[in-house]
Chain A
Amino acid sequence: MSILIDNELCTGCGSCVESCPYGGIEIIDNRAVMIDKCNLCGACIEACPVEAITIEREIIEKKDLSEYRGIWVIAEHYKNEIHPVAFQLLGKGRELADLLEVGLTLIILGSDFDEELNSFAKYGADEIIYLKSPKLKNYYSDLYVQVLTELVQKNKPEIVLTGATPTGRDFAPRLAKRLNAGLTADCTGLDIDLYTRNLLQTRPTFGGNIMATIRTPNSRPQLATVRPGTFKASEYVKRKAKIRKIEYDFKEKDSVTKIVKVIHKHKEKVNLEDANIIIAGGRGVGSKENFKIIEKLAEVLGAELGGSRVAVELNWLSQDRQIGQTGKTVSPKLYIACGISGAIQHLVGMQNSEIIVAINKDPNASIFSVAHYGIVGDLHEILPTLIKEFMKTKIVD
C-alpha cells in the first residue's frame, strides 16, 4: 500500500509539495519523489493538476453491510438535564435519516428520565431507548461501553452519533475499539453519500488549517463525535416516538472505577452556545478600553459578547468568551465580527452562524469571505452610529 507517482505524467510543478501537511514529498530532478515522512494521507492526490499521483489500496472484499440500518444519537446528561448537543444531533440526524429512509433513535442511559421521555419526541426521534439503572445517574466509562456494545450488536445501527464532549470523547473510542468500528472525532460537518450509504464526516485538522472528510467504507456502524453548537435542534410539534425502556441492576462492584466525589462549581454565566446574537471583537478593537463600545452594542441588541483568541490573550475579554478552534463553537442567528481579521481558527468556530456581519478596516480581511454583510471602515466610528441608528428604528417601531 503506497503512494505511486507516474513519472511520465509528473511535470515537477510542485503542487503536491505545497499540499502535503507532513512534508512527505519533494521535487528531485524535476520529478515528485516520496520521502519517508509520508503518512499516506492522500492530500497530494487531490492537489496534482495532471493526475500523476495515485494511492494504491488493496482491494478489500466487499462485506455485506446491509444488515446495519438506522441512525442513533447517544445522549449525555448533567444534573438530570440532557446535554443540548443530543438535541442538536437529532436535528441533523433527522435530515440524514430521511435521506437514508431509516429510523432515528435517541439513546439515554440514566436513572430519572421516565417522565420526560415523551417530551423529547419533539426533537425528531422515531424511537427513544431508555437504559435505566440508579447507578447510571452518574457517568461510568466502562458501564457505558458495556451497555452500548450489547445494544449496538443486537440492533445494528449504521450510524452512531454523540457529542464531542469530555464524556462522548471518553466512551466513544473505547466503544469503537470494542465493536471494531471506525470512529471520527469532533466533526463539524456530516453528510451522506447515498450510493454507498457512507457517512461523510468533515472535521478540522492541523489546528483548523485544513478540513478533512473521513469515511468508513467497509465496516459498520460508523461512529462520530460532533462538536456541540455545530448543528441546530429542530422542534416538531406533533411528533411521537416509540419508547423502549430497559432496566439494569448494576451493583457497586460492576464498575472498575469508583466515583469518590462529584464537585459542582458555579454554572458559567456566559452562555455563548445558546445566544441568538453575538457581538465579537478582535485585535482591531485596539484596547480593553475600546471594548466598551462593543459591550454597548451588545447591550442594546440584547446580545452576548465574544472575541477572538487575540482579544482573550490580550486580556480584553475573559477566556470563556473566546470563539474559535480553541474556544467555543457558536451558531447564533446574528454574528457581528468587529475588527476580527478572520483567521481560519476563528472561522471554524462561527461560520455556521445564520447571518454574519463583518466590520473591518482592511477590505482584504478574510472575515469578509464568510460575511453576508460587510462594512469596510473604522469600527470606532461605525459602531456608535450603528447604536444611534438602531435606537432610532426602535423608537419608530
Chain B
Amino acid sequence: MGDKIQIFVCIKQVPGVQEVKIDPKTNTLIREGILSITNPLDKNALELALSLKEKHGAEVIALSMGPPQAEEVLREALAMGADQAYLLTDKVFAGADTLATSYTLSLAIKKILKDSKNKSKFLVFCGTHAIDGDTAQVGSMIAEELGIPQITYVQKFELKEDRIIVQRTFRKEEVVIIESKLPSLISVLKEINIPRYPTMLGIMKAYDKKKITYLDSKAINAKENKIGLKGSLTEVWKIFIPERKGEQIILEGTNEEIARKLWTNLKNDKII
C-alpha cells in the first residue's frame, strides 16, 4: 500500500427505525415494509474518508459486522467510492454486546493493517452512534482495543500530514479544538458534512469490479470467549413495549368547569 494513509470506516446495517411503529391493538411492533439501511452517521464517516481520499490519496476501507445481508451496506459504501470492503460474518458473532463487537472489529482492523504492512499510518472513522441501539460505545472501545487516541462527537476535521485537528462538541455552548496524531479514532456528528450519493458508474463498479472480503472468526483469529453472546458481559434481560397505564382523571363539563376543576386539583396536589 506504500505511503497511503489507510482509513477504516465502521459501518452498521440498521432497521430504518423512524418507521418502526407499534400496533396499538396488539401492542407489538409493526415490521412490515421496514427496510434495512446504512446507519446514517456512518455515511458521514464514510464521506469524511472519501473527501480525504480525494485530497490526500488515502485508501478507504469499509468494515461491517453482521449477518450475510449486511453486504448491502458495504455495496453502497463501495458505490460511494470506498476502495475495499470487509464483512465480518459468522454465526458465533451473533448476540454481541459493545465489548464483543469492538473486539471483533478491532481484530479485523489489526489483520488488515498487518497484511498491508502498515503500522501507524491509519485512521478509524465511525458515526457517533447507531440509530437502532444508540449506545455510542463501540467507537471508544475500538480505540481502546487498538491502543490509539479517540476523539468523539466531532463536527470538523482537518488532516495536516501526520497530525489531525478536530472540533469536538461537548455541549451546545462549548466546542473544543483538539489536536491528535495518526493513528487516531474519530466519531462524527451529522453536522460534519453531507454524504454524497453513489454515481451510476460507482454502482456498476461496486457490483462488477470490486469485491467484498468475508472474514469469519477463524480468519481474524478471534478468541471464542470474547466474541458474540459468549464474549458479552451485558445481557438483555427483558425487552418490552412500555406499558402506559396510569390512573388518570378525565375532567368533564363546560370549559369553565373543566378549568376550575384542573386548577383546584393542581392546587390540592400542591403543584401550583
- A-chain residues with CB within 8 Å of residue B272 when the two chains form the complex: 277, 301, 334
Q: Does B15 contact A (CB under 8 A)?
A: yes
- B-chain residues with CB within 8 Å of residue A357 when the two chains form the complex: 262, 266
- Inter-subunit contact B22/A265 (CB<8 Å): no
Within A270-319, which residues are at the interface with B (CB < 8 Å)?
Answer: 277, 301
Q: Is the interface of B mostly helix, strand, loop or mixed?
A: mixed
Q: Does B83 contact A (CB under 8 A)?
A: no
- A-chain residues with CB within 8 Å of residue B242 when the two chains form the complex: 211, 344, 347-348
Q: Does A181 contact B (CB under 8 A)?
A: yes
CB-CB nearest in chain B for A213: B238
Residue of A177, A206, A263 near B102 (CB, 8 A) is A177
Of A121-129, A168-176, A239-247, the one touching chain B = A168-176
In whole angstroms, what is the CA distance A215 to B234 when docked? Answer: 6
CB-CB nearest in chain B for A42: B236
In whole angstroms, what is the CA distance A268 to B173 when docked? Answer: 7
- A-chain residues with CB within 8 Å of residue B94 when the two chains form the complex: 38-40
- A-chain residues with CB within 8 Å of residue B235 when the two chains form the complex: 214-217
- B-chain residues with CB within 8 Å of residue A166 when the two chains form the complex: 152-153, 168-171
Of A67-75, A97-105, A387-395, the one touching chain B = A387-395
Known: A21-B15, A176-B99. A257 touches B135 (CB 8 A): no
Known: A181-B233, A209-B21. A141 touches B150 (CB 8 A): yes
Find the residue from B98, B102, B229, B241 having the highest chain A CB count within 10 A. B229
Of B55-63, B117-125, B126-134, B192-200, the one touching chain A = B126-134
- B-chain residues with CB within 8 Å of residue A40 when the two chains form the complex: 94-95, 228-229
- B-chain residues with CB within 8 Å of residue A169 when the two chains form the complex: 136-137, 152
Task: Give how many B residues have a beta carbon under 8 Å from the other chain's beta carbons.
Answer: 92
Find the residue from A139, A258, A373 having the highest chain B CB count within 10 A. A373
In whole angstroms, what is the CA distance A57 to B235 when docked? Answer: 11
With both chains docked as a complex, state the minimum distance between the C-beta of A348 and any C-beta of chain B, in angstroms.
Answer: 8
- Inter-subunit contact A214/B236 (CB<8 Å): yes
In whole angstroms, what is the CA distance A216 to B234 when docked? Answer: 4
Find the residue from B165, B179, B271 having the highest chain A CB count within 10 A. B271
Q: Does A374 contact B (CB under 8 A)?
A: yes
- Inter-subunit contact A167/B165 (CB<8 Å): no
- B-chain residues with CB within 8 Å of residue A174 when the two chains form the complex: 140-141, 143-144, 150
- Inter-subunit contact B263/A39 (CB<8 Å): no
- Inter-subunit contact A182/B238 (CB<8 Å): no
Task: Classify chain A: how many residues form its interface, as a range.
Answer: 35 or more
- Inter-subunit contact B239/A211 (CB<8 Å): yes
- Inter-subunit contact B234/A182 (CB<8 Å): yes
Q: Does B204 contact A (CB under 8 A)?
A: no
- Inter-subunit contact A212/B259 (CB<8 Å): no
In whole angstroms, what is the CA distance A351 to B143 when docked? Answer: 36
- Inter-subunit contact A19/B177 (CB<8 Å): no
Residue of B132, B150, B237 near A170 (CB, 8 A) is B150
- Inter-subunit contact A374/B28 (CB<8 Å): no
With both chains docked as a complex, state the minimum distance between the C-beta of B151 and any C-beta of chain A, in angstroms.
Answer: 7
- Inter-subunit contact B177/A347 (CB<8 Å): no
In whole angstroms, what is the CA distance A256 to B179 when docked? Answer: 9
Q: Does B250 contact A (CB under 8 A)?
A: yes
- A-chain residues with CB within 8 Å of residue B179 when the two chains form the complex: 257-260
- Inter-subunit contact B238/A46 (CB<8 Å): yes
In whole angstroms, what is the CA distance A260 to B164 when docked? Answer: 11
Q: Does B69 contact A (CB under 8 A)?
A: yes
- Inter-subunit contact A390/B145 (CB<8 Å): no
Q: Mark A374-397, 1 if CB is under 8 A from B, else 0.
A: 111100011001101110010000
CB-CB nearest in chain A for B242: A211
Within B15-38, which residues are at the interface with A (CB < 8 Å)?
Answer: 15, 17-18, 20-24, 26, 28-29, 31, 34
Residue of B29, B174, B246, B263 near A210 (CB, 8 A) is B29
- Inter-subunit contact B144/A178 (CB<8 Å): yes
With both chains docked as a complex, state the minimum distance between the C-beta of A8 and any C-beta of chain B, in angstroms.
Answer: 25
Q: Does B245 contact A (CB under 8 A)?
A: yes
Known: A183-B98, A377-B255. A41 touches B149 (CB 8 A): no
- Inter-subunit contact B248/A180 (CB<8 Å): no
In whole angstroms, what is the CA distance A176 to B143 when docked? Answer: 12
Of A110-118, A229-237, A363-371, the one touching chain B = A363-371
- Inter-subunit contact B140/A177 (CB<8 Å): yes
Find the residue from B237, B260, B269 having the highest chain A CB count within 10 A. B237
In whole angstroms, what is the CA distance A40 to B245 when docked? Answer: 29
Q: List 6 A-B contacts (CB under 8 A).
A: A42-B239, A145-B144, A211-B239, A212-B240, A257-B178, A264-B173
- Sample of 8 more A-B contacts, CB < 8 Å, known A18-B26, A371-B248: A19-B28, A166-B168, A170-B152, A177-B140, A183-B234, A268-B172, A377-B258, A382-B259
A residues touching B (Cβ–Cβ < 8 Å)?
1, 15, 18-23, 36-43, 46-47, 57-58, 78, 138-139, 141-142, 145, 165-167, 169-174, 176-178, 180-186, 200, 204-207, 209-219, 256-268, 277, 301, 320, 333-334, 344, 347-348, 351, 354-355, 357-358, 366, 368-377, 381-382, 385-386, 388-390, 393
